[in-house]
A and B are shown apart, each in its own frame.
Chain A
Amino acid sequence: MKKQLSYIDSVHREGRIWNLSMVVILLLFPVAVGLLFNAGIDWRGFALGMLSTAPMYWAVGVIETFTYVPMLGAGGSYLAFVTGNITNLKAPAALNALELVGADVKTEEGEVVSTIAIAVSSIVTTLIIVLGVVLITPLTPLLNSPVLAPAFDQILPALFGGLGVVYIARNWKIAVAPVLLMLILFIAIPGLGSYVGILVPVGVLVALGVSRILYRKGRL
């Protein structure tokens, strides 16, 4: 008799099928363009380009996988790692939705909430980009206007100000050490901004270490 899969098991099975199919679909773009325009790849350029790009971004990809999957849950992770913009959009969207209904991502309800948030965010983003592409001529002067430029330049501070205050206020005992450490690091070492992706797991490890100590001492 065929075994009935649990919800989470079916998410993993279908997520694997979707993501591995997406790997093939994404690779088809350069292949299809090459075939249609009868153009081969410049292998030397490709190898050197990969050599200067891949080590850093593959390392970040591995770190992000181990950092964000436990935060986003199963369905949310499969989707977020395909649709991208995890730190500036998908993770905050999931966090906000979980906070909204008071759910934990490790529960079945939390899994559902995180997946819905990331799916809706991906759909809205994709549709807005389509609209932007269709209306690119009238939109370009408006979105590129010097008046609006500072607003779009400051999305991350505006996002993490609102998100940060909620989480820090609720868990200030855990927050103090990683926040102080990151402030010291970023202020003491200018230009560290390009490595923020690598510093996320450092912040996570410090937060986990501190909270474990506090928990064992009965302070949490």
Chain B
Amino acid sequence: MEFSVNHPVLFLIAGIVVLAVLAQSFFFLRKAWRHGKEIGMPMDKLKRIAISTAVFTVAPALAIVISVISLSKKLGIPLPWMRLSVVGAITYETPAAANALSAMGLEWAQITSLTATQYVTVAAVMTMGIMVGIWLVPVVGKKLIGGMINLEKRDKKWGEIFSASLFLGMISAFLGYVFDDFTDIFHGDWKGLIPPLVMLVSACMMGVCALAMKKLKWRWMNDYALPISLLVGMISAIPITAWLG
């Protein structure tokens, strides 16, 4: 069989992996849904969670499709399709593939085709380089979650504050990240202002949604406030970039 990065057999193998991921997602969805009903959660509430999440997911998922397209120029479609449907993210997969190629004396930017050996080596590095979370969660997950539940039992209020602190710690890191290129403006490059302005637009949109819920009694807005602010923020990036970029 002659190798090519888009050989139909590769689509078949990647498809099997993607199917396994889908099966796991459906398994946990069904399990959680059934338990939600058992503990008395109304069907309406469960549906709201699912629909709101599905709507919110569309824009970030399209960004992942762009990553698949971008990687497919070098690695073909099946490998990026599989990698970005599982653990991977573009921020990891590109350097991992580039490192593997560079270790074989090749340069990422110059690649036009790969041999089967090079492809297998790249796939192995991409797979094993980021596998920690998948096996570490089964090892430590139960203890970590158990510790959190015990914390809540011992002191409910501190348990709630603890959860809020975890979320705020994560959010604070990403708010800082938005200002990563901010100092460029002191060198006359105004592009560093684009991410903070987009974030500001998105935050203001969230405020508008909250006002609409409160003043206009648009309760449905609660389910879609995050997708709306995300989308408006993203759209605002187009004129803001045209202005400052």
Contact = CB atoms under 8 A, between A and B. Distances in A.
B68 A41 contact: no
Interface string A168-202: 10110011001101110111001111001001111
Given A39-B117, A53-B129, A200-B169, A79 B13 contact: no
B237 A151 contact: yes
Contacts of A171: 164-165, 168
A158 B233 contact: yes
Contacts of B63: 88, 152, 155
B57 A93 contact: yes
A100 B149 CA distance: 21
A163 B119 CA distance: 39
Contacts of B201: 158, 161
Interface in B179-231: 179-184, 194-196, 198-203, 205-207, 222-223, 225-226, 229-231
A65 B157 CA distance: 25
Given A69-B141, A201-B169, A105 B29 contact: no
Contacts of A95: 167
Given A84-B89, A116-B29, A204 B116 contact: no
Interface residues of A, number: 158
A71 B166 contact: yes
Given A96-B226, A220-B161, 10 more contacts: A49-B129, A58-B132, A65-B140, A71-B163, A85-B64, A136-B77, A148-B238, A160-B199, A161-B200, A161-B229
Given A36-B1, A136-B77, A78 B28 contact: yes
The 5 closest A-B pairs by CB, nearest first: A158-B233, A182-B176, A61-B132, A204-B169, A161-B202
11 contacts: A49-B122, A51-B103, A64-B133, A122-B21, A160-B199, A161-B178, A164-B171, A178-B173, A186-B177, A202-B169, A215-B161
A182 B168 CA distance: 11
A42 B123 contact: no
A132 B229 CA distance: 24
B111 interface: no
